[in-house]
Amino acid sequence: MSIILVGVTAISVVFLIRATLILVGFLKEPILRTFSEYGPREKLYMPGQQLLLWGGALSVCAGFWAAPYQGLSATLTTFGILMDLVVALGYTYAEQAEKIHLKILKYPHWYHELRERTTRYERRRIGYMWLHLPLRARLSYNSSDRMFLVWADFVIMGTIREEELNPREEEHFYTGH
């Protein structure tokens, strides 16, 4: 039993650190991966849910670790279960959770800035171009939001150029001589 608890605690800590890095803006890969998804509507990436989920899991694990202290154990376990119930409600009622998430948590800043000034098509292009970047470039862009936004602007400019109509393709609409 204690080996399983050690494993679950370690996994919770690792994913809690990952969720924190995403929230702070030092890990862009999971958010950019959602840009390349197709579907009827685009889902808002909500790193607060992951933070609550893994924080709740860690709290439940801490409650099991604190089993000799009855009051502390019950408090940590109850708090963790309540956090995980909030996450479950957020996944069940995603549209309402997105509205609440946008009001409460505007992190990471680069994501919300990019989301406000780009179309879904441009974000999809950014997501696919991210997949083609070498590892070293990804690490550089992960560490600097400003560098990333400049790179994203270049991708957007390429997208605009691609969407620009070629006048030779529209010759059949020409009514002159």
Q: What pLDDT score was predicted for residue 42?
A: 77
pLDDT at 112: 84
Q: Name residue, tokens 């969720």.
A: 19
d(CA 55, CA 152): 32
The answer to whether residue 173 scores a pLDDT higher than 80 is no
Write the single-letter amino acid at 83: M
**Number of Cβ atoms within 10 Å of the Cβ of 12:** 21
- Going by pLDDT thresholds of 50, 70 and 90, the confidence category of residue 163 is low
Alpha helices in the chain (DSSP H): 2-24, 29-35, 47-65, 70-92, 94-104, 109-117, 120-131, 135-143, 145-163
pLDDT, one tens digit per residue, over 28-79 is: 988 888 888 787 777 778 888 889 999 999 999 999 888 888 888 889 999 9
pLDDT band at 175 (very low <50, low <70, confident <90, very high): low
- State yes or no: pLDDT of 174 exceeds 60: no
pLDDT single digits (tens) 108-136:
888 888 888 888 888 888 989 998 999 99
pLDDT at site 80: 93
Confidence bin at 94 (pLDDT 50/70/90): confident
The predicted structure's pLDDT at residue 165: 55
pLDDT for residue 171 is more than 60: no
Mean pLDDT of 90-100: 85
For residue 169, pLDDT beyond 70:
no
pLDDT value of position 105: 78
